[in-house]
Amino acid sequence: MSVSLRKYPYPYQAMLAICSDLDETPNKEIYFETARYLNTTEETLLGKGVGLEVGNTIYFEMPEHNFSYTNTDDDGRKKIQKLIQSGHIDCLHSFGDFVNDRAKIEQYWSEIRQGERKIEVWVDHAQAPTNLDNDIMQGQGAESGKAPYHSDLTVKTGALPFIWKGRVTSCVAQNAKRSYRALFNKKQIKASLKTITLEFVKGWLARLGNQKYAMHQANKVLRKTQLIDGTPVLEFLRCNPSWGGVSMFDSARGIHQVLTKSVLDALVANAGCSIFYSHLGKIFTEEEPFQEKTRQAFELLASFTHNNQILVTTTRRLLGYLRASEELCFTTKETTSHVHIYITTIASEGDLQGLTWNIPSDKEPVLWVNDEIYTNITKNTYDENGVQSVSIPWLDLQFPNIN
């Protein structure tokens, strides 16, 4: 057999990130306890943690009772900085509702970039003036000459390569054939058929030349595009595979309708990857933020990870992995005893993590990265098809102590 790149890190068959916008998170306790619940196996306010790898978003000036960098206290800000450094706050969710001038943008931009690890993902929020999309999301962040213009500082410099501009699909499993089956709900036939029809129509509109739904039709997480001022970006697509449509069950109060066995089975069966669109700060009550059904949904997801089916990671890491694997060029050379894999890449070491090549079982692998031997590799045990592979190990993020 010849050498080939696996779609996902060994031994997983699919990948998923939960990309939660922090809208309406009522206080700092719930913001940080949610992170602990998702990323550790400790007892938390939301229940016993599920030990996944899930990031979060952050923004600045917001109305009262909305957790944000400026609405919280010094202790909250210290913890935010810690979680940016550990990779668990990985997306900037605009600069916030009330940020509308350059001085504040520059101040907040440097505020979140003090540490070694930087936020590299931007997610447009509601109607925030600094949004980068001027169409669906009505922002002016990329309109040169306007007060909230900032893409010259934040995007053109290369600091924010990954941008979300408002696009959500109903289909689970991107980077795979479009599949509607998981949307069908036999208890909600009429509503679920409406959602399926709507998604189907978007695909046809795109085929007829409609630009708004081009990403839905292509069904790929990433596409190369540009902002209004011409700045090249990688735009990403999120999904909310809810039978009620993309704007239903997009919060903690509805995620049990989305993280279901049929949705997760479809993700695996299609060998897809998905970035889920949600708002985990929109909780049930401050006393019991998640209900039993919410916990069961996250435990179900964790069981797919423990069964080596779905690798769950942060939005930033999933995007970095996809970019690295899509841009990767490699050549190989086989000797009687060894198989040499040569890659040339500009990706960071972190983004190369998880890359896996299937190799002939009788050969020892040697990996070359940019003309140097890369010693940190793992030869994997045979997979379910009896195929041997070699990986750059995928290392979990370490959740910091924020108590």
Least CB distance to Zn ion at residue 111 (A): 20
Nearer residue to Zn ion within complex by CB, 21 or 351: 21
**Min dist. Cβ of residue 207 to Zn ion (A):** 31
**Among residues 88 and 125, whose Cβ is nearest to Zn ion?**
125
Cβ(235)–Cβ(222) under 8 Å?
yes
Specify the residue, 21 or 53, whose C-beta has the smaller distance to Zn ion: 21
Burial class (CB in 10 A: 0-12, 13-18, 19+), 194: middle
Residue nearest to Zn ion (CB): 125
CA-CA distance, 241 to 82, in Å (whole number)?
Answer: 32
**C-beta closer to Zn ion: residue 125 or 282:** 125
Considering the complex, what minimum distance in angstroms separates the CB of residue 297 from Zn ion?
21
Site string for Zn ion, 97-126 (x = CB under 5 A): ----------------------------x-
Secondary structure (3-state) at 262: helix
Pick 125 or 202: Cβ nearer Zn ion: 125
Smallest gap from residue 285 Cβ to Zn ion (A): 21
Q: Which is nearer to Zn ion, 122 or 357 (CB)?
A: 122
| Amino acid of residue 48 | K
Size of the site for Zn ion (CB under 5 A): 3
Give the footprint of Zn ion on residues 249-308 (CB under 5 A).
none
**x/- site string to Zn ion, residues 7 to 46, per CB under 5 A?**
--------------x-x-----------------------
The C-alpha angle 351, 301, 306, rounded to 5 degrees, equals 70
Taking each helix axis from N to C end, the angle separating 292-306 and 261-269, rounded to the nearest 10 degrees, works out to 20
CB of 41 to Zn ion, least distance (A): 29
CB of 149 to Zn ion, least distance (A): 20
- Cα 236 to Cα 223, 256, 361: the distances in Å are 7, 24, 37
CA atoms within 13 A on the CB side of 303: 11
Residue 323, both tokens: 């970019």
Q: Which of 249, 254, 255, 246 is nearest to 213 (CA)?
A: 246
User: Where along the sequence are the contacts to Zn ion (CB under 5 A)?
Assistant: 21, 23, 125
